[in-house]
Amino acid sequence: MAQNEKILYNIVSSLREGDFLKVAEALMNDLEEPAIRLHHEINSAAEILKSEGVTHVTMSGSGSTVFGLVSSRDESERIAARLTERGLWAKAVYTIVR
CATH for 29-85 is 3.30.70.890
* 30 pLDDT higher than 90: no
Nearest CA-CA partner of 47 in 77, 75, 88 = 88
C-alpha 65/C-alpha 63 separation (Å) is 5
pLDDT at 27 over 90: no
Integer-rounded Cα radius of gyration of the chain = 14
Question: Residues of the chain with pLDDT > 70: what percent?
Answer: 96
Q: Residues of the chain with pLDDT > 90: what percent?
A: 38
Query: Confidence class of residue 1 from pLDDT cuts 50, 70 and 90?
Result: low
Confidence of residue 28 (pLDDT cuts 50, 70, 90): confident
Q: Are 62 and 87 in contact, with CB atoms under 8 Å apart?
A: no
Check residues 57 and 71 and name the one with the higher pLDDT.
Answer: 57
Better-predicted residue by pLDDT, 4 or 34: 34
The answer on pLDDT for 92 being more than 90 is yes
